[in-house]
Amino acid sequence: MTVHTPLEMAGAFVGNVWTAPGGAHDEILNPATEAVYGRAAVGTMHDLDQALDAARTAFDKGPWRRMSLRERARKMEELHAHLLARRDEIVAMIVAEAGCAQAEAAGLLYAIPLQQLAADIEEAYRRESVTSLPFMVNPGWAGDKVLGGGVKQRVPIGVVAAITPFNAGFFLNVVKASAALIAGNSVVLKPSPYTPFQAWVLADAIQQLDFPPGVFNVVTGGLDVAQGLTTDRRVDMVSFTGSDAVGAAIMAQGAPSLKRMLLELGGKSALIVREDADLDLAAQTAFWNITCETGQGCMLFTRHLVHNSVKQGFLDRMSALFEHAKVGDPADPAVTMGPLIRGRERDRVAGMVDKAVSGGAEVVFGGKAPAHLDKGFFYEPTLLTGVDNKAEIARKEIFGPVGVVIGVDSDEEALAIANDSEFGLGGGIVSADKGRAYEMALELDAGFIILNEGPGAKHPAAPFGGFKRSGIGRESGTEGIDAYTEQKSIMFRAG
């Protein structure tokens, strides 16, 4: 199917219709070619006001929250089938809009969120919206005995503002909308200005499937729209994925109205390579974490803590992988890594690398823009060694294809360095001793940990989120649906 640019003639998606554009249009660039991919209306505060009114009305007066879990699950099954049928269009959109390599676009950014949607639907069929509390006998006022009981119920929170980044637009749009809608909420989605079409395709599906008006809305725009979402009293909850600095600002903006917060923020995760590790596996894991999404992923392992006895062997294998990497336009299926999202992001990454090298770091490979590409926002996969964990490049989230290697002499030193971070999103351990690796995982201050290759893919039942400045709350799994609910208890006298 040919990808077109439906937002070129539209404003916001409100109440199942596209409004007339009220402001300017942004030219959406293909980051690999710098060509214009499409034109998207820039959302205005008027668009936001309309979307919030529609979402509020849908929640307060509409049928969606009053449906049973099973009824909502059946409607979400229609959405799942519709998105599956549009696979080629959506994958092509992710490649062109975000610059993601085709294999990653098809697997990580398209297939996995639909697996999560399917898992959420299954969970909705399994769970009961009301469960009984144990009966109990209490003394009555007249000296008799009173039999009492109660029920507890999970109910939707209300209007959810979902704010998503460019690096995993379709992924996070689906994951957030899936859990929020299944729980019975209304949603106003604000996508990144760089990747609005990955929100359009979800709105287009909702429109075609005739969901109740107002339960899902999309408003593009800049900081004014984002701040409007996080401060408006019509919003009950904010679900945000992005940097820790912006997450902290959103918490402050939502504080006066005590909004519920689900914040999936940054990471500076460590991969520990023990002295007994399979070095081929360790190098492949580390290299994938440098190149996946061109390093533009919060979950990626960017600090490689390698036992000094095997460090040189690890570096040799990493260098060999670099020689076989192909950087270029991800429209080419042979390309293994695409560009960064924009030129300023490439310049920021290059500046961090240059500063690290000036401070004594050594470049194992990469460290510059590829000479053979005169268009696009490309930067080579880069590995640095001779880095201290106190250095900026080992502490700040790079959000680019850069990893650092730090040598260690013991498990204890590796754990201490891994935990010496403001972040606590993920971690990995490569070791032939699976029992020892598990023991070490228990000591890591991180929300998700992968031992060796893990299960081979994201587990849809596993909650995802982090410690410390990596966020608040969890997405995915039963916890990911519960995050969009409040719990209510109703007590009664039985006799």
64/183 Cα distance (integer angstroms): 10
What span, in angstroms and rounded, lies between the C-alpha atoms of 432 and 485? 42
As a whole number of angstroms, the distance between CA 1 and CA 268 comes to 39
Which two three-digit tokens encode residue 370?
Answer: 């590829």
Q: For residues 302 and 402, give the distance between their C-alpha atoms in angstroms, rounded to a whole number.
A: 7
The answer to whether 474 and 480 are in contact (CB under 8 A) is yes
d(CA 141, CA 132) in angstroms, rounded, equals: 25
Long-range pairs for 77-86 at CB < 8 Å and ≥24 separation? 77/121, 78/209, 79/117, 79/205, 79/206, 79/209, 80/114, 80/117, 80/118, 80/121, 82/205, 82/208, 82/209, 83/114, 83/117, 83/174, 83/201, 83/202, 83/205, 84/114, 86/1, 86/201, 86/205
Instruction: List the structure tokens of 228.
Output: 């409007």
List the one residue out of 13, 166, 177, 6 whose CA is nearest residue 94. 166
Name the residue among 90, 264, 88 with its Cα closest to residue 176. Answer: 264
Structure tokens at 264: 């999936």
Rounded to an integer, what is the distance from CA 241 to the centroid of its chain?
Answer: 6
Secondary structure element (H or E) that encloses residue 435, with its range:
helix 434-443
Residue 206 CA to residue 190 CA, distance in Å, equals 16
Residue 433 CA, distance from chain mean position: 31
Give Cα separations from 427 to 286, 416, 437 (angstroms): 12, 13, 11
State yes or no: is 292 an active-site residue: no
Q: Which of 97, 104, 264, 345 is catalytic?
A: 264
Rounded CA gap, 492 and 133, in Å?
Answer: 11
Identify the active-site residue in 293, 298, 397, 475: 298
The CA–CA distances, whole Å, from 444 to 415, 419, 428 equal 7, 6, 9
3-state secondary structure 121-163: HHHHHHCCCEEEEEEEEEECCCCCEEEEEEEEEEEECCEEEEE
Catalytically annotated residues:
264, 298
